[in-house]
A and B are shown apart, each in its own frame.
Chain A
């Protein structure tokens, strides 16, 4: 027997784990490289956002996506939008690096090539992210919630009713001055949530303490009547917000003046025959509604 063959036959090779280890290493390298590149982009984006916020109050449409090629596949870094693919999985694995949470999906002991379909939206009053993940079990969500709650920059996290049966939606309430970035990587699939302090604001603390106006309902339980309202006003893209006393309200729109909010309310009243559930409310980025 040759010495070379001997080494191979004597050492038991955990091939699945070996492949996983290689993926993990390559993913780590990509993230390191990307962080260097992204740093500039993020700073620029933060400055652009800050400018937008200062000059035009709340931007009505704020979305950017970009795709970076990686290992022949791609990574998507986004602020608002959606991505992912049908991903059969049995479990999720999480890794916390300071203020970054990395979620991977596991099937038959291996990491999946893609991530589950997801959707992310941002709102300003109060400052929060609404994240929806498809085909996530309750147990997996709980694991996720525990991890996210521990992250720096997170004030609160709570589950909300989802419009799709197989989807888990939840709200991450961010601390003042915190911004975020969602990154998607495939081959292997990886979804990362990174929270960071907005470079522009931290310098002189110039966050606009501006009032944001929206339409809101009274506080409700997370029950059928809330779901009915969600369905009724689905076209207005209502959001669910947890109030200070732990009940939930629906809000529609974010406007920089009371007049705009009033205008929308009167339109709703015409379209939905009164829309008496809603009234105009207002608040600031750090203000949880009553």
Chain B
């Protein structure tokens, strides 16, 4: 049965998952202030549309969708890049070395993957963030974004291909 959650429960749940949401927002903008602005706006939107939430079990997927959409909107509005080409030529965002605790090949690879995301369109980034860094499966992402599971799969692989091309120096447009 559909049970609405209250404002208090909303506040509790968003606090519980705040770091997760922040990491998602950050992976889009790679900048602290912008990520915080996105979280702020997403919290506002979430609370305003609380009655659209189907039930407490869906909170995480529902709120993640809001964060993702807010991040995409944010990039659109504040776009400093005019198009794909420009991003492609730019250097990936740098992550300070002190934040890397133990460096193995595994981690380096992940860092490359994390940085290579910058070449993707905001929507494409969503799939990499959710699938790899947030460890959601295809079915969960499909529910979250309200698109068929097969489409999710295709888009994850397409985004990966694009990144692979970039990382190996090839062009794939």
Contact = CB atoms under 8 A, between A and B. Distances in A.
A24 B37 CA distance: 10
A9 B44 contact: no
A273 B113 CA distance: 87
A176 B45 CA distance: 37
Interface stretch (B72-80, B131-139, B140-148, B157-165): B131-139
Interface residues of A, number: 30
A4 B39 contact: no
A30 interface: yes
Given A33-B48, A71-B11, A72-B7, A12 B39 contact: no
B1 interface: no
B22 A13 contact: yes
A1 B39 contact: no
A21 B6 CA distance: 20
B8 A72 contact: yes
A271 to B, nearest CB: 52
Contact of A13 (B6, B19, B96, B134): B19
Contacts of B40: 21-22, 24-25, 28
Interface string A1-12: 111101111111
B151 interface: no
A9 B101 contact: yes
Contacts of B102: 1
Nearest to A8: B23
B135 A19 contact: no
15 contacts: A1-B104, A3-B132, A6-B111, A7-B27, A9-B101, A10-B114, A22-B14, A22-B18, A25-B42, A25-B44, A25-B47, A26-B11, A26-B14, A28-B40, A32-B44
Given A11-B23, A26-B11, A26-B43, 13 more contacts: A2-B135, A3-B135, A6-B110, A10-B114, A18-B39, A21-B39, A24-B40, A26-B44, A29-B45, A30-B47, A32-B44, A71-B11, A72-B11
Interface of A: 1-4, 6-15, 17-19, 21-22, 24-26, 28-30, 32-33, 70-72
Interface of B: 6-8, 10-11, 14-15, 18-19, 22-23, 26-27, 32, 36-37, 39-48, 95-96, 99-102, 104, 106-107, 110-111, 113-114, 132-135
The 8 closest A-B pairs by CB, nearest first: A25-B43, A29-B47, A7-B133, A72-B8, A25-B40, A25-B44, A21-B40, A21-B36
